[in-house]
Copies of this chain bind each other. A is one copy, B any other.
């Protein structure tokens, strides 16, 4: 109730009145309180129901690396959803290793967490009998798990890259390259595929220029040194995620070339760079919130068929895609 009151900017007493259908609350205030209650997933009897079912009031979150802003924003959002519902969140990093991920999942299940949100390290289903037999609700996010029948929250990777290519083409670019992350990641392959198919659909010249990672500043510098100076010079690049964007920005600075660019993933200082960096924004906080909400729906007894939600991305246009690139000017 305190969370609802704070969120709706009213007193706890007012929230109590609305919940218990008591008089003395203005209709528009009541509407606002109801909207917040709906949004926060607050239900008067949820807590009691969960206790009756022998729950531990903990959920788990397994990500690759909490220090990466993409994952820390997911973590903050999942933790908030848990806290609002009086649950605690156990976070664990798998550091990209499916083996470690399995160990972490088993430990969470041994701890009897009520449910788990997982950004999977690999794509093979967790055939691990402990995980399967536990019946613990699991929601996957960011990357699907092949053969798994779990709720899954994804981002529209293909649409995101398509919007980046279209933006660059609309500003006169014809020679666009794609710098992807490690193709071991499903998201990296989705984005590459979208780049190749959009390149073809828009009739851009030549075979699509693609280099998948893992990338470093050095590897990108070597690529750009060739691509920016051959007979059909690349004038713009699209990066595959925040890690690659950072390496590409350093590489361009080192080479003193200023290609046009659209980065995948928004980042805090994008607007302060020269030029400000246009990005595909996939809103990790909203993805984390959605995944947690789906998990809590299951914990409250939702037995409908598993669903996959694909969340839209948004192109944030600043300036880096709109100027013609080339060697240092």
Contact = CB atoms under 8 A, between A and B. Distances in A.
Interface string A170-208: 000000000000000000000000000000000000000
Interface string A64-104: 01110101110111011001001011111100000000001
Given A111-B88, A249-B272, A272-B250, A93 B79 contact: yes
A83 B58 CA distance: 18
Interface in A22-59: 58
Contacts of A91: 75, 79, 89-91
A107 B83 CA distance: 10
Contacts of A267: 268-269
A89 B113 CA distance: 13
A249 B273 CA distance: 10
A230 interface: no
A128 interface: no
A246 interface: yes
Given A93-B79, A250-B272, A274-B274, A88 B66 contact: no
Contacts of A250: 271-272
Contacts of A77: 67
A79 B107 CA distance: 14
Interface of A: 58, 65-67, 69, 71-73, 75-77, 79-80, 83, 86, 88-93, 104, 107-108, 111, 246, 249-250, 253, 267-269, 271-274, 285
List the 3 closest pairs (A to B, CB-CB), nearest first: A72-B72, A67-B76, A66-B76
Given A66-B66, A72-B72, A246-B268, 17 more contacts: A66-B72, A66-B75, A66-B76, A67-B73, A67-B75, A67-B285, A69-B69, A72-B75, A88-B90, A88-B92, A88-B111, A89-B90, A89-B91, A246-B269, A249-B269, A250-B272, A269-B269
